[in-house]
Structure 1
Amino acid sequence: MSDASNVVSRRSATHGFARERVQALLALAGVRVREGEGGGSQDDELVVHDGRLYGRLLSQGSLGLGEAYMDGWWDASPLDGVLARILGARLDRRVTGMAARLDGLRARWFNLQTRRRSREVGRRHYDLGNDLYRAMLGKRLVYSCGYWREADDLDAAQEAKLDLVCRKLGLRPGMRVLDIGCGWGEALKFACERYGVRGVGVTISAEQAAFARELCAGLPVEIRLQDYRDVDERFDRIFSIGMFEHVGHANYATFMDVMRRCLPDDGLCLLHTIGRNVSRRITDPWIARYIFPNSMLPSAVQVSEAVEGRFVIEDWHNFGTDYDRTLQAWRDNIEQAWERLPALYDARFRRMWRFYLAGSMASFRTRRAQLWQWVLSPHGVPGGYVAPR
């Protein structure tokens, strides 16, 4: 047999092993593999368009899964259904890939959310363009979980969430409020209009800051392009909605110190954040590369350790299952809007965005991710705190 034949034989054997291994792993999640055209028709079917997928998954793990989807190597319909099966079976822990191991080493030795690094997520994600977010997020540009307890649509769920935050903090006319990570300014606008407060919002996204200033024009609201670590003044109340995911474990104590120095002894603060069930120092490598660079989901232990000695935990509310429904609404909105959006959002970007939303749905649906609201006070509310729901 010639050398060329030997090479072909070895490649064929390697491909065969990878194919069998991947199919066996997917079978553990109840996912069938079909090779050919189409996008699948059930949540237990993954359609392979390129046979190189198998080796890529074994060598790269979740990074390879996401990049291969972006490249059109595989499809599933519904995508969130297949990803939920994969996450539910913990297959991401069986095949990690080199990227995850390298990210773990970087996170162990370096602070990935320094002042300089923290601005990267603003440039690469939040500055993608307001057209994208306005199409996806609905009437209120609130890029965080809605509260669906009594809501029937996305706009109502977001309004209910904003009102819940204000009620939990006991906002009253004349209070001065700080919003850490103010996004497009919707939360401060709501609090000012409904509860008569004055506000300061800080963000590291230039696009968001410009939009928020326009949105809040005429209201007693100041929007700053500022790192949260530089805020050093007093406020009656503080809230942070969907920003703590970008702080990083090395900075949790610093974040809590900032809130503590900015609150009077009788103040309250509310932390609204996605959380994970186990403590880690890194995020998924695909998410880190394409969606939220230098991000990290905190665990309950990590939040509690940062709170210890600084605040009393008055209330801890988990409504993570509401995020699945929120994400489904975002997906429906953006899928109806792609053709109206600029050519900047090409076919590969759309597949990236679909994978991001579907993977996030799967994380909350399988209870791998949570949505927490923590109400904190410096010394404890006299007589006790009663949380509205």
Structure 2
Amino acid sequence: MPSSAAFANSFSSREIVEDIRRWAAVESPSVTPEAVMRMFDLAEADFRAAGAAIERTEAPSGAPVMRAAFAGRGEGPGILVLGHLDTVHPVGTLADGLPLRVEGDRLYGPGVLDMKGGICLALHALKRLRAEGGDTPLPVTFLMIPDEELGSPATRALIEAEARRHRYVLVPEPARQGKVITGRHAFARYRLTTRGRPAHAGADNRAGRSAIRAMARLVETIESATDMDRLVSFSVGVIRGGVFVNVVPIECTAEVLCVASSADNLAFVHDFMAGLASPVEGVTLEIERGAERPLFEPSPGTLQLYRRAADAAAEIGFGLEHGTFGGGSDGNFTGALGIPTLDGLGAVGAGVHTLDEHLLISELAPRARLFAALLTGLDGKGER
């Protein structure tokens, strides 16, 4: 791998910050299609200006998907950079809750860390390399998707098909305590529906059967099954039920996120969820399995890819550790396929999915240099 010193002075955290601010100013929650489309339009313009060949398609859901391809000096399988342009923050978060701002070494804003910051630093790295040395050794393709925060239900097949055409996968999701990610726990989503019997809540409460009451009991049962010693967890994140406060509610839905650190734990999750029963007589329970992220375990190719990254980081001047973590990404899919996948190559910060989301500005340039070292150093030998 070429010495990182060759482009030591080419990267500017200030320039990367300005790009991230432009992107974060366009709010793009997964559940607001028109907002996601605006973000894709902005990203397309930036990738096109960088010299990419752009292909815009649609996922089966109708949401946009973008491939931005950059030629390499060689042909054949190259490097896939996986990213998502959707966030969990609803439109209006910038105005009320998480304004875009710089405080000391921190840039705050919705999506700055997860993961607009990572995509921007990766694109910055590639632009600097191409400006100084032309094409990278291998072709590089960025695949941008619109539904990662929903579990990538409409794009999983697209991601897996694209990944199979490449030799390596780099994922600029946020780093974990500065570490890159060589494995991720499995994720399973469930949707539960309880159905009861209506009654006038004020006049004849006992005649009804409350779907909400049954769901409330189920929530406690489900979340109590979390065992962090075993590394298996259950979380109910969304509940909807009832229409009028004076009517005993006849329907309630809940969305459950389950995380498992091993194949045995994932089997336990599915058995546990399938075994749930309504805790209230006269209320039925329906259980639906949703999107799933498979277990991503470190393969020999992934670990060899990590060692290359660690060597490059040492030349830049920082130590780079790795690990297996919860918190799913599209790297779950590619890692589970056995394709060498290095995740967590994005920005360093904290507060993902909260109103404290921020990245560390001083870490942007070093991380961009690391990304550049991988883009210029991977030559198609080994790893696969």
By percentage of residues, which structure has more helix?
1
Q: TM-score range by the shorter chain?
A: under 0.3
Structure with larger RCO (C-alpha < 8 A, sep 6+): 2
Per the normalisation by structure 2, the TM-score is 0.23
By percentage of residues, which structure has more strand?
2
Per the normalisation by structure 1, the TM-score is 0.23
